Amino acid sequence: MTTAKHIVLTGTSRGLGRALVQPLIDRGHTISGCGRSASAAEAFQQIHGDPHRFACVDVSDAGQVTEWAAAVVAANGPPDLLLNNAGVINRGAPFWEISAEEFAHVLTINVIGSANVLRQFLPAMIDAGNGVIVNFSSGWGRHGAADVVPYCTSKFAVEGLSQALADEVPKGLAVVSLNPGIINTDMLKTVWGEGATRFPSAESWALPAVDLLLGLSAADNGKRLSLH
Q: Which residues are catalytic?
A: 151
Q: Degrees (nearest 5) of the Cα angle 165, 113, 197?
A: 105
Cβ count near 201 (within 10 Å):
12
Residue 120 near residue 66 (C-beta atoms within 8 A): yes
| 3-state secondary structure (DSSP) of residue 49 | coil
Could you tell me the CA-to-CA distances from 156 to 52, 138, 139, 161, 222 in Å, in that order? Answer: 32, 8, 9, 9, 15
Residue 138 near residue 180 (C-beta atoms within 8 A): yes
Residue 159 near residue 97 (C-beta atoms within 8 A): no
